[in-house]
Structures are given as C-alpha cells and as structure tokens.
A and B are shown apart, each in its own frame.
Chain A
C-alpha cells in the first residue's frame, strides 16, 4: 500500500466516520501522541469558538489546556473580545498557533480544518449558529438554553439527527457525580413514586425599551442582534469589551426569558433526567397566582408536580418530613420528594437525603465506581467515538422547552395544557403562536 494511504490522521478518520466508512468507533492512535501527551497538530480536533463573552472565555481557557484540541478560530462581533481570545490562543500555542479571529460566524464555519465549534453567544443565536454549524458538518457544544423557542428545540433535534452530529448541551450537571448519583437513585425508584420536585430561580421578563446609545467602535451591532428584531444599541444589552456579567441581555424578552432560561434551565434538566422524561416533558404549566398556585407549577403525566421557588414554605408547598424550612433550594439543583423520602442535590458535592440511608445504597447505576468526566471531556470523547454525549440536542432541547413553557405561561397568565409528544398547547391558539419567534432576515432555522 502506498505510504500515504497508511497515514490516517484524526481529521481523516473523523471524515471517514462521518461518511460511514468506519463502522466501529475509533480512537486517536497513541503513536500520534507526543512525548508530553500532546497530539500531533494534524490529529487534533480543530475547534472554533463562536461568542466569547464571560462563558465563552471560560470555555476557551479550559479547552486550551486539552492536548487533543487545537483552537483554530475565534469569532465575536466585539473586536476587543475576539482580539483577546486570539491572543489567549496564540499565547497557549506559541509558534504553533494557527488561530484566526472572525467577526462573522459564517467565515469561521467555512474553514475545513475546524471540526467542531463551541457556541457561547446569547440565546438568540444558539440554534441559528448550531444549525449552520451542523449543516456545515461540524460537531457542536452549545451553551444553555440551547434554544430561544420551542420550535427551535425541535429544529435543532432534527438537524442534529439528520447529519449525525455530536452535540453537547452546556448543562454540565449530567457529567457531575452528585447529580448522576441523585438521578440514578430517583430513576431506580429508591424514593418510590415521585410526588413533588422543587427547583429555584423563578421569574421571567417583561417588555423593556432602552434608549439608543452610540454603538461602540468596531462592534457589529447588526450581527450582534442577528435573528432578533432590530432595536438600538444600549450598553445594558452588551458590555463592550471585557464583560462584567454572564448574561447581561437576559432581562430583555427579545433575547431571553430571564431566570427561567438562564438559570432554572439547569435544574429543569436535572428534573427531566431524574424523572426519565428526556424524550417527553410536562403536560401542564400554571403561572404563579393563577388557580391558587403559589409558584410557577408544572405537572407531569406521572402526577409529579414541579414547582419553582426559592424555599419550601409550609404555607405554600409540601414540606416533607425531615426538611428544615430554613433550607434554601440549591441553585441549579433539585429536591425530589417521593413516597419513601427525599433527595436534595446541588453543585459542589451537595447531596442530602431523608432518610440518610438512601444515600448509603449502591444503586449499581452508571455513577457507581466510575470516574467523573468533565463535560468538555465527554464532548471530545464523543467526537472521536461518534457516540451520544451526556446531554445531546434532544435532551438539552427538551429541557429548554420546560423553561419556554414557563415563560409562555407567565406571558399568557393562564394555566396551559401541553402535549409533549406533538409539542403543542391543547386548544390554545395564542399560546401555540408563542412556540416560535419570527426572525429578522436573512436568518432562519
């Protein structure tokens, strides 16, 4: 065989795998690894970054440490952010850097040596950018919520499945030990039938109308808005240059749904996972103050009630035995209450139960005795193996739908019946109209 045909780079193998030429998952050849564990440049996963605000910078800093990746492109409509991001990549790689900076994501996506992209834009861009990337053959890691609308979640799921793209949603509880353990226990029935689940970060947003301000030098405001309706620049939407906040724009309904989509969606994902609802969702949603509901309230077909509030108030909620009413619901976590007790899980190792013996049990589930992956590592391994990630487009999209249902209930101010299979509200034309948002041209999904 000609020597050139024996040379199988990681990129070549990825293309073969995507083309179906490889029936089995493959791994990067160990011989391709250098003495320090760094893969040869041609064998590294070529990465692009789209959106480099606070979250994007965090992802970039972490992924620059992975020897199996090479960051080849960074894209942001803010010239300072993209300049800083390119400088970070150049500093990490030294003379080996081939990182270019882009204003327009379409130019980055046109590069053939970028295999995958990490999208950390505002919510309005998540699905349009993800769909463009997947149709260009790229694998995707996208920040949460993966969608701005219910329709977008469906389109995202369909496009990812159509092209067999590896998609990771930035809902990292899925690769965190305490969450895996909690959800294993719930899924395996250790609590019995689940009656209630509580999560925190209630609240959505109302119309805002900020005055026009001069667009900072070099900021491409038109592209920043992208598919959102045009409105004038204001510094509260975009913190020019180095950002101070994670999602400064999320108070504006054109760009997000406040706490529900920015924070509670993490917890909704845990709930969907723990209740075994990754392919479904709630069947009813009621906003606070309607029909006597003290908090935003969802119901699942199983009868489980999900409520969003900061604490369990004996006047408003079911407070189970063994629960201290002073306890705040863990941020991004959940309280599962069942026939046999409760489990309260949160970040940084927070895991409590009543009775305590529940946590002493070995579930034999996937969290037992297995090392904890990082969410990035899981994504990178799946790019190689072509397997499903911990939180793929379908699961991440449906968790986002839970948040969107809450937003629509707030805006319509009534109890809504939801068909999770058809993904439509039952007998409510107005609510169904809110499942999608018209996009500014030329953008579409």
Chain B
C-alpha cells in the first residue's frame, strides 16, 4: 500500500509543469481576462513591455505571445488589452492575427483596428486597406479613420473611392482621412468630389481641402496652396468657411 502511494506521488511530480513565471501567469490571466478581473493579474505584461525597449528578442517574444492571445478567442476585455499592448510593441509579425480578428467583424473587430492603426509596419496599413475593400459601407468608418491617422499615401486611391458612395457619413470620413494625408492626388480626388457634393458633405470636403492647403503651405509650396484656396473661394459658404478661405489666400500670397 505504502509502495503504491509513493509511486503515485512520483508520477504526479513527473507530470507537474515547472513553476510558472509571473509573466506566464499574466499571459494565462490575459487569455481569460473578463471585465472585472483584477488588473494586477496581468500587470507583469506591462513590466515586460517596459523592459523590452532595446531588447528585440524580448519584444519579439511578447509580440508572439500577445498574438497568441488574440488568436485564442480571449474574452472582450482580454482581447482589448492584448491589442492595446500590441499597439505598442507589435510589428509585422502580429498583423495576420489582428487582420483575422478585424475580418471577423462584430464586437471584437474594433480592438484589432486600434492595434493596426498604431503599428508602424507597412503591413498594418495593407491589412486595413484590404479590409476596407471587403467591408460593406456601413462598417467602413473606423477603418477609414485609422487610415487617415496613419497618413500613408498608398491609402489615397482606396479612400478616394469611398468619396462617391451612397453613404454621406462614409464619404465625409474618407474626405477627412484624405485631408489628413494631403498631397496632390488626395487634393485632386477631393476637388472632384466637392463639385458633386452638397450640404454637410460639401463642408467636410472643403475642410479636408483646407487641411491639404495648410500642409502645402507648411511644405513651402505657397503657389500650390494658393491655387487650392482659390478653388474653394465660392459664394454661399458659411461665414467661418469663407473667412478660412480668404485667410488662407492671404497667407499663401504672403508666403515665400
């Protein structure tokens, strides 16, 4: 009897995993993180992220483990926090996992978009543009807004295509994103869309064109800026818009 018990103990010890590190415990907690779970349970991940600066190996390990949480079907709170961490330390490696969550739509998708918006690797922008092409207009605004913040010239054609749809809110978001990106192609698309737009959308496009002109001025291209401002100088605009245009023309004339 005693011999059998000892044998059982030995088997149990042999089966036992090595003692988990605080970081292992935190990742396990993150994968099961619900609203209301003690945030201290996942705090070691924040410590590791801070320690990963200048340590590419640790950073890559964190990216892999956070990506695994994203793929694991973690609860919404866990997914959101994993994506928040990836938005800081993620690179091209975690983009496929995030893109899959974004493509899945539903309540999980915004968290993936938040991470993709901040990840500086060009793959993140490509993933957002690919999803924009697949997404029906009603779900596009968040993706469009993220592309605007990223300011990649490669996004201009996809955003320009959103200016002409039937949903004015989507077109207004696309206009704002094009205004954020700026440049000749963005301005050209905005100018063409403004000619056909009315009401609030026309104002949104004018605002984006004003932003483009300001960027041209900042880049030392006053003649281009002035041409853009003058294209906006039309009757029937709200007073503050008309004044913005006039002020811009004056600045462009005075700029060297």
Interface residues in chain A, defined as those with a beta carbon under 8 Å from any beta carbon in chain B:
15-16, 18-20, 135, 137, 151, 158, 162-165, 206-212, 229-232, 411-414, 429-430, 432-434, 436, 438-444
Further pairs besides A158-B211, A438-B149: 5, Cβ < 8 Å: A15-B239, A209-B39, A210-B35, A434-B88, A442-B145
- B70 shortest CB reach to chain A, Å: 15
Task: Specify the chain A residue showing the minimal Cβ separation from B246.
Answer: A20
Listed by A's residue number, 19 A-B pairs whose Cβ atoms lie within 8 Å are: A19-B242, A20-B243, A162-B210, A164-B243, A164-B244, A164-B247, A206-B46, A207-B42, A208-B39, A229-B110, A229-B114, A230-B107, A231-B35, A412-B53, A414-B50, A438-B113, A438-B146, A441-B145, A443-B145
B117 touches A438 (CB 8 A): yes
Q: List A contacts of B67 (CB < 8 A).
A: none
CB distance from A169 to the nearest CB of B (A): 20
**Residue from B36, B117, B239 with most neighbouring chain A CB atoms (10 Å):** B239
- Residue-wise interface mask of B (106-134) relative to A, using a CB-CB cutoff of 8 A (1 in contact, 0 not): 01001101100111100000000000000
Chain A interface, >50% SS class = loop
Q: Which residues of B contact A210 (CB under 8 A)?
A: 35-36
Given contacts A19-B239, A438-B118, contact A229 B111 (CB under 8 A): yes
Chain A contacts for B238, CB-based, 8 A: 137
Question: B239 and A440: CB pair below 8 A?
Answer: no
Q: How far is the CA of A441 from the CA of B37 in the complex (A)?
A: 26
In the complex, the 7 A-B pairs of residues with the closest C-beta atoms, listed nearest first: A211-B36, A441-B142, A19-B239, A438-B114, A137-B240, A413-B50, A444-B145
- Is the CB–CB distance between A439 and B145 below 8 Å? yes
B152 at interface, CB cutoff 8 A: no
Chain B residues 111-169 with CB under 8 Å of chain A are 111, 113-114, 117-120, 141-142, 145-146, 148-149, 169
Contact, CB under 8 Å: B50 / A433: no
A163 lies within 8 A of B244 (CB): yes
- Shortest Cβ distance from B56 into chain A, in angstroms? 12
**Given A164-B247, A231-B35, A442-B141, is A433 in contact with B120 using a C-beta cutoff of 8 Å?**
yes
Using known A-B contacts A211-B35, A433-B87, A444-B176, determine if residue A18 contacts B243 with beta carbons closer than 8 Å: yes
Q: A441 to chain B: closest CB distance in Å?
A: 3
A163 in complex: contacting residue of B36, B169, B240, CB < 8 Å = B240
CB contact between B37 and one of A18, A209, A231, A442 (< 8 Å): that residue: A209
| Residue contact A164 to B50, C-beta cutoff 8 Å | no
A285 to chain B: closest CB distance in Å? Answer: 15
Q: Is the CB of A433 within 8 A of B118?
A: yes
Given the interface pairs A18-B239, A441-B142, the reply to whether A232 lies near B35 with Cβ below 8 Å is: yes
| Residue B100 interfacial (CB < 8 Å) | no
Q: How far is the CA of A243 from the CA of B245 in the complex (A)?
A: 43
Nearest residue in B to A165 (C-beta to C-beta)? Answer: B240
In the assembled complex, how far is the CB of residue B184 from the closest CB belonging to chain A, in whole angstroms? 20
Complex CA distance for A367 and B143, rounded to whole angstroms: 50
Chain A: CB-nearest residue to B85 = A207
B 208-238 contacts with A by CB, 8 A? 210-211, 214, 238
Cα–Cα, bound, A18→B119 (Å): 41
Which of A19, A208, A433, A444 contacts B243 (CB under 8 A)? A19
Query: Which chain B residues lie closer than 8 Å to A158 at the CB level?
Result: 211, 214
Say yes or no: is B11 at the interface (Cβ < 8 Å to chain A): no
Cross-interface CB contact of B142 among A165, A414, A434, A440, cutoff 8 Å: A440
Within 8 Å CB of A162, what residues of B? 207, 210-211, 214, 244
Minimum CB–CB distance from B110 to chain A (whole Å) comes to 6
CB distance from A151 to the nearest CB of B (A): 8
Answer yes or no: B27 CB below 8 A from chain A CBs. Answer: no
Q: How far is the CB of B238 from chain A (nearest CB, A)?
A: 6
In the complex, whether B193 has a CB less than 8 A from a CB of chain A is: no
CB distance from A254 to the nearest CB of B (A): 9
Which A residues are CB-close (under 8 A) to B118? 433, 436, 438
Residues on A with beta carbons closer than 8 Å to the beta carbon of B39: 206-209
**A442 near B46: Cβ-Cβ < 8 Å:** no
Could you tell me the distance in whole angstroms from the C-beta of A355 to the nearest C-beta in chain B? 45
Expressed in whole angstroms, the minimum distance between the Cβ of B57 and any Cβ of chain A is: 16
Enumerate chain A residues within 8 angstroms of B80, measured Cβ to Cβ: 229, 231
Instruction: Please indicate the chain A residues that have their CB under 8 angstroms from the CB of B203 in the complex.
Output: 135
A443 cross-chain contacts in B, Cβ below 8 A? 145
- In the bound complex, CA of A209 to CA of B75 (Å): 13
The answer to whether A212 touches B35 (Cβ under 8 A) is yes
Any chain A CB within 8 A of the CB of B186?
Answer: no
- How far is it, in angstroms, between the C-alpha of A230 and the C-alpha of B114 when the chains are bound? 12
Report chain A residues within 8 Å CB of B141.
441-442
Give the distance in Å from the alpha carbon of A2 to the alpha carbon of B28 in the complex.
Answer: 79
8 Å CB contact of A207 from B50, B53, B81, B142: B81
- Residues of A with C-beta under 8 A to B211: 158, 162
Is A430 a contact of B89 with CB atoms below 8 Å? yes
Looking at the complex, which one of B43, B87, B246 makes contact with A206 (CB distance below 8 Å)?
B43
Interface residues of B in 25-53 (CB under 8 A from A): 33, 35-39, 42-43, 46, 50, 53
Chain B residues with CB below 8 A from A164, complex form: 240, 243-244, 247
Contact B244 A209 (CB under 8 A): no
State the CA gap A211–B36 with chains docked (Å). Answer: 4
B176 closest partner in A (C-beta): A444
The answer, yes or no, to whether B77 is at the interface (CB within 8 Å) is yes
Q: Is the CB of B37 within 8 A of A430?
A: no
- Which residue of chain B is the closest to A287 with respect to CB atoms? B50
Query: Does B173 reach chain A (CB closer than 8 Å)?
Result: yes
Contacts of A440 in B (CB 8 A): 110, 142
Bound state CA distance, A135 and B50, in angstroms?
A: 39
Determine which residue in B37, B88, B119, B176 has the highest number of CB atoms from chain A within 10 A of its CB, and name it: B88
Query: Which residue of chain B has its CB nearest to the CB of A441?
Result: B142
Inter-chain contacts of B107 with A (CB < 8 A): 230
CB neighbours of B146 from chain A (8 A): 438
B88 touches A209 (CB 8 A): no
Residues of chain A contacted by B169 (CB below 8 angstroms): 442
Tell me the nearest residue of chain A to B143, going by C-beta: A441
Determine how close the nearest CB of chain A comes to the CB of B155; give it in whole angstroms.
15
Q: Nearest-CB distance from A385 to chain B (Å)?
A: 15
Q: Can you list, as one digit per residue, whether each of B62-83 has a CB less than 8 Å from chain A (1) or not (0)?
A: 0000000000000001001100
Give CA–CA (A398, B180) in the complex, Å: 20
Q: Contact: B88 with A433, CB < 8 Å?
A: yes
CA distance A441 to B195 in the complex (A): 27
Residue B173 contacts which of A212, A414, A444 (CB distance < 8 angstroms)?
A444
